[in-house]
């Protein structure tokens, strides 16, 4: 019983202080289609202690010696049958902890594949990289990704258990891993939800689309936006813009998820902010009137590269990847259409009033300022007051939509029925 209590305390301490290097290592496992991939992080000082080496901050761990060492101490078994383990790469990371200050961790990326006919989801994880020499050391093991069970964690994931020394028998005990079977439906549904969450939290993606829709209900006359173009014209234009954006980001989502093209994240994020600035300028004065769907499709290509980052690096096989792309993209579209459906009726209503001009200008100027703030932040890596304010205000977005609805209805009623109401009051008086 004491052993279980000790393990629980160690696991809890690892969850609460994940970055703390002493005295634990942290291993995260991900279930792929035919293998288990893993990432092991361990304190460099503890590793050197286990190897009886002198502390050396310039130690090169990416050598054959360390690959052989980790290969000997990272194992998995199905019964008595040994899995095939490969060490993909080894590196080090510099970290800071409030308790110990600066420290270095060794990071090992590995894969474990079961023999033919053996289950991928039930095995004995025999990991003793440090604990075989330092009995006070412990290894916190987490499950980070499991497609068929809908698990896609950004940080450590779900705890599986602790590998630590059993002082009653005087040696460490491997961890028994027994995962749920899961299903294709669970995996597909999780990707659908991930896509919806991605667009829901993607303030920049939504702002681009909304700003591009601001003048979609209007007719351009020369270099100015004129009045309301009619319901049929507005809806047709709105549909073209949304569809073009969908086609654009779907293309690059597919390309990026398949690994055919993976540009650096920072330039893509800057270009996304730039796309909002271009849309804001167009909302003020017609820059590309009648060609909004081409612009939406072009910038959609850029936005799709950012979407693809959510699927890259999962190590998915061809069949699962195809389902993931379909589910993820469908989730994006459902959430995108839901939000557009919440906003468009009020834009159409408000655009039939004199107040829409000032609303459009205010919205375009605000979006332009926000986009510039994002460009500066994404170029420098330093947050600023405006981006922080937008992040905080986004939590109240639903109330902004409610406010838009009330404002639009009020303006429409006043413009169309205000004179009648005033005339009625004068007659009554």
Asked if residue 136 and residue 158 are part of one domain, the reply reads: yes
Map tokens 């209805």 to a residue. 409
Residue 375: the pLDDT is: 93
- Of 124, 153, 182, the last residue of a domain is 182
Instruction: Find all residues with CB under 8 Å of 92, minimum gap 6, and list them.
Output: 44, 59, 61, 104, 105, 106, 107
Contact 183, 121 (CB under 8 A): no
The verdict on 394 and 406 lying in the same domain is yes
DSSP states along 212-273: HHTTTTEEEETTEEEEE--HHHHHHHHHHHHHHHHHHHHHHHHHHHTTS----HHHHHHHHH
* CA–CA distance, 190 with 152 (Å, rounded to integer): 8
Q: Tell whether 428 is covered by a domain.
A: no
Coarse DSSP helix, strand, coil percentages of the chain, rounded to the nearest 5 percent: 55, 20, 25
User: How many whole angstroms separate alpha carbon 167 and alpha carbon 261?
Assistant: 52
255 in the same domain as 123: no
Are 147 and 32 within one domain?
yes
Assign residue 52 a region (left: φ > 0; alpha: ψ between -120 and 50; beta: otherwise).
left
Q: Are residues 164 and 200 in the same domain?
A: no
Structural domain includes residue 262: yes
Q: Is 222 found in the same domain as 253?
A: yes
Distance, C-alpha 92 to centroid of its chain: 25
pLDDT at residue 169 in the model:
73
Q: What is the SS3 assignment for 47?
A: helix
pTM: 0.72
- 229 located within any domain: yes
Residue 429 within any structural domain of the chain: no
Same domain, 357 and 220: yes
Are residues 215 and 164 part of one domain?
Answer: no
- For residue 312, the enclosing domain spans 185-423
190 shares its domain with 146: no
Q: What is the pLDDT of residue 10?
A: 42
CB 41 within 8 A of CB 107: yes
Q: Is residue 384 part of a domain?
A: yes
Q: Is residue 178 part of a domain?
A: yes
Query: Do residues 135 and 281 both lie within one domain?
Result: no
Cβ pair 146, 30 in contact under 8 A: yes
pLDDT at site 289: 81
| Residue 240: predicted pLDDT | 86
Residues 133 and 92 in one domain: yes
pLDDT at 184: 86
Tokens of 11: 């696991």
Phi, psi at 96, each rounded to 5°: -130, 135
Q: Is 89 a member of any domain? A: yes
Looking at the structure of the chain, the number of domains it has is 2
Are residues 266 and 173 part of one domain? no
Q: Is 285 a domain residue?
A: yes
> 190 near 324, Cβ under 8 Å?
no
What's the average pLDDT block by block, 10 residues per block, for the chain (429 residues)? 43 41 79 90 88 70 88 93 94 76 86 92 93 88 89 80 82 89 87 85 84 86 82 84 87 80 82 91 87 85 80 68 84 86 90 90 93 91 86 83 91 77 59
């Amino acid at each position: 019983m004491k052993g279980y209590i000790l393990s629980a305390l160690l696991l809890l301490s690892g969850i609460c202080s994940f970055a703390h290097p002493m005295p634990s290592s942290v291993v995260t496992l991900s279930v792929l289609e035919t293998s288990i991939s893993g990432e092991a992080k361990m304190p460099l000082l503890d590793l050197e202690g286990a190897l009886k080496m002198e502390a050396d901050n310039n130690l090169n761990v990416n050598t054959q010696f360390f690959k052989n060492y980790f290969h000997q101490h990272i194992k998995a078994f199905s019964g008595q049958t040994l899995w095939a383990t490969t060490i993909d790469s080894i590196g080090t990371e510099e970290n800071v902890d409030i308790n110990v200050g600066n420290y270095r961790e060794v990071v090992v990326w590995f894969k474990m594949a079961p023999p033919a006919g053996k289950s991928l989801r039930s095995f004995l994880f025999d990991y003793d990289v440090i604990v075989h020499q330092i009995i006070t050391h412990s290894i916190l093991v987490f499950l980070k990704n499991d497609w068929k069970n809908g698990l896609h964690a950004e940080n450590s994931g779900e705890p599986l258990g602790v590998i630590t020394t059993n002082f009653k028998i005087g040696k460490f005990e491997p961890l028994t891993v027994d995962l749920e079977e899961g299903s294709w439906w669970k995996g597909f549904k999780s990707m659908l939800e991930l896509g919806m969450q991605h667009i829901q939290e993607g303030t920049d993606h939504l702002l681009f689309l909304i700003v591009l829709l601001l003048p979609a209900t209007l007719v351009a006359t020369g270099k100015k936006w004129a009045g309301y173009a009619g319901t049929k014209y507005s809806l047709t234009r709105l549909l073209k813009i949304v569809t073009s954006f969908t086609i654009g980001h779907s293309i690059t989502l597919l390309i990026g998820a398949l690994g055919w093209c993976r540009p650096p994240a920072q330039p893509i994020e800057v270009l996304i902010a730039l796309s909002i600035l271009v849309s804001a300028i167009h909302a003020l004065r017609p820059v590309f009137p009648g060609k909004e769907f081409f612009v939406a499709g072009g910038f959609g290509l850029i936005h799709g590269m950012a979407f693809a980052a959510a699927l890259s690096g999962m190590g998915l096989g061809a069949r699962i990847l195809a389902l993931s792309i379909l589910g993820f993209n469908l989730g994006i579209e459902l959430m995108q259409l839901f939000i557009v459906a919440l906003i468009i009726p009020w834009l159409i209503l408000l655009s039939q009033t004199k107040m829409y001009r000032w609303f459009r200008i205010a919205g375009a100027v605000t979006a332009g300022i926000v986009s510039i703030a994002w460009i500066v932040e994404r170029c420098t890596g330093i947050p600023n007051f405006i981006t922080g304010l937008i992040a905080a205000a986004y939590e109240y977005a639903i109330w902004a939509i409610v406010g838009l609805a009330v404002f639009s209805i009020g303006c429409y009623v006043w413009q169309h029925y205000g004179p009648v109401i005033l005339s009625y009051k004068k007659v009554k008086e």
